Amino acid sequence: MANLQWYKGSGRLIPSGDWEVGAGCETPGGAVSRDAEFISSMALKRANCAVELMRCLKRLRDPQSELILLRSCMGVAKLPFGIRTCQPSLVGGAVSVFDEGLRGALEDIVVCGGAFFGDLQWRLASLPTRFGGLEICTAEDASSYAFVASRAKSWGLQDHILRECGGDVLDSDYRSALDLLHSSLPDLDIGGFYIKDTAPPKSQKILVNALYGEIVKRFEEKFVLSPRQRVVFECLRAPHAQDFPSVAPIEGLGQHMSAVKYRAMLRYRLMIPLFPVDESCPVCRKRVWILSASTRSTVKSCQEVHLTLGGHPYFLIGRGKHACVDLTGVSPLVGLKDKGFVVGQAVLMAEASKVTKHEKACLENQRVFVSFAFDTFGGLASDVVRLLNRAQKVVNSNSSSLKVSNFVFSIIGFSIQKGVAAQLVARLPAIAL
């Protein structure tokens, strides 16, 4: 094994130190070799190091911080950056070790190693946020496209480095990886990937969208979902429903939840039972019907009823007038058993009800009325989206450093989930606390 250094004068990578012919080398980007044993051992070494690091997460005793670290730098980011130079067929062992450790770390965050974290929750959490997940990307998913995407994106650089080698050294590996990818994504046209002149410039984005699009399409085929679970899965994919995970835990700004509240919120979103079977809610004293161990029965509990979070209007100033903003939270499952139920109708009905009730009185007092309606999964009414878009533009225009497009939406989404978590924890039996 050797270290490689880039010499500007020659424009080549030149090995320094001892060089073992037929083995390979480890670069900052990953292993570079065609030796199967070398690649497998190097990938497995990286996977074991990443798993050991993930096992240290529980020392924080703060699931919110643990989830952020797992999503950003201590999770799958530690492995796919390395396996992008490795043939998918040679890293199966590393992928299995890494995903087993990743799932264990996520279970500790969500249920503290307890029950009800099954394959459904694991698959749901591993989806990107735009598909309703927590963006805990698995190595199994990443390994299916990382090598192909990296190779397709770096055709020019590889041709320059290997210009004196003659021929395309990695063609057989690349074609094998393409064939393997085509078997998992039969509907994707990958013909352009076979020729370097026609390879798409944003190859990784194309492959990621195709992969997770196929996973979502087959989601209900793989898992037997109850009517409630199907509604929840669709609600999680609504715009802005997954803005909250990126919020940094800052206690002074109200951007932090206690461990009990954060776990209750995650369990609610991942469709994990919160109450023992036939338990009565300690708040309303009504019987709570919950998911059974088979996770197929319908849920109806007191937290899934119409909630009004804030009985008094809030006032803003805009366009020369005061704006009266009414905050209304509602469960998207209201009316689930009614004929003709449509996902998202609960928020629309809540918004229309508030407008009918308050708009006339606000106009008579020369105030603009805004119905700030949202559901318990973070879905927002159309008027709310328009209001927050305006607020985001104001933030961007007054800040030279903060240019995050969804900053306002993330803060609002976190506040909504914090309120929902408080409602859930208030109803949890004492044994669950």
**What is the reported pLDDT for 310?**
36
pLDDT at 126 over 80: yes
pLDDT at 148 over 50: yes
Cβ–Cβ < 8 Å for 88, 183: no
pLDDT at 387 over 50: yes
Cβ–Cβ < 8 Å for 261, 63: no
Q: 333: Cβ–Cβ under 8 A, 6 or more apart, which residues? A: 228, 231, 232, 299, 300, 304, 346
Q: 339: Cβ–Cβ under 8 A, 6 or more apart, which residues? A: none
The residue ranges of every structural domain in the chain are 28-219
**What is the reported pLDDT for 191?**
76
Confidence band for 28, pLDDT divided at 50, 70 and 90: low
Region 268-295: mean pLDDT is 57
Amino acid 388 reads: L
pLDDT at 133 over 50: yes
According to the per-residue pLDDT averaged within each range, which of 17-21, 300-304, 313-317 is highest? 17-21
Region 376-397: mean pLDDT is 85
**What is the reported pLDDT for 338?**
72
Distance CA 411, CA 254 (A): 10
Which residues sit opposite 330 in a β-bridge?
A: 375
Weakest mean pLDDT among 4-8, 297-301, 312-316, 377-381 = 297-301
Q: Please state, in angstroms and as integers, the Cα–Cα distance from residue 398 to each residue in 206, 247, 250, 394, following that order.
A: 35, 20, 22, 6
Task: Pick 232 or 17 by higher pLDDT.
Answer: 232
Region 123-133: mean pLDDT is 91
209: how many CB neighbours lie within 10 A of its CB? 15
pLDDT at 337 over 70: yes
Confidence band for 62, pLDDT divided at 50, 70 and 90: very high
Region 379-406: mean pLDDT is 78
Q: Please state, in angstroms and as integers, the Cα–Cα distance from residue 358 to each residue in 277, 312, 314, 327, following that order.
A: 41, 12, 13, 12
Longest dimension (CA), the chain: 85
Region 288-311: mean pLDDT is 33
Region 284-309: mean pLDDT is 36
pLDDT at 89 over 90: no
Query: DSSP character for 430?
Result: G
167: how many CB neighbours lie within 10 A of its CB? 7
Which residues sit opposite 317 in a β-bridge?
A: 322
Burial class (CB in 10 A: 0-12, 13-18, 19+), 65: middle
Cβ–Cβ < 8 Å for 346, 331: yes
Edge-to-edge strand list for the sheet holding 314-318: 314-318, 321-330, 367-375
pLDDT digits (tens, 9 = 90+) for 236-261: 998 888 888 888 888 888 889 999 99
* Average predicted confidence (pLDDT) for the chain: 76
CA 133 to chain centre: 4
Cβ–Cβ < 8 Å for 181, 190: yes
Cβ–Cβ < 8 Å for 250, 242: no
Q: 83: Cβ–Cβ under 8 A, 6 or more apart, which residues? A: 30, 43, 91, 94, 95, 139, 142, 143, 146, 147
- In percent, the amount of the chain with pLDDT more than 90 equals 14
Q: Hey, what are 333's tokens?
A: 């499952």
Weakest mean pLDDT among 172-176, 267-271, 280-284 = 280-284
Residues in the chain: 433
Region 7-23: mean pLDDT is 46
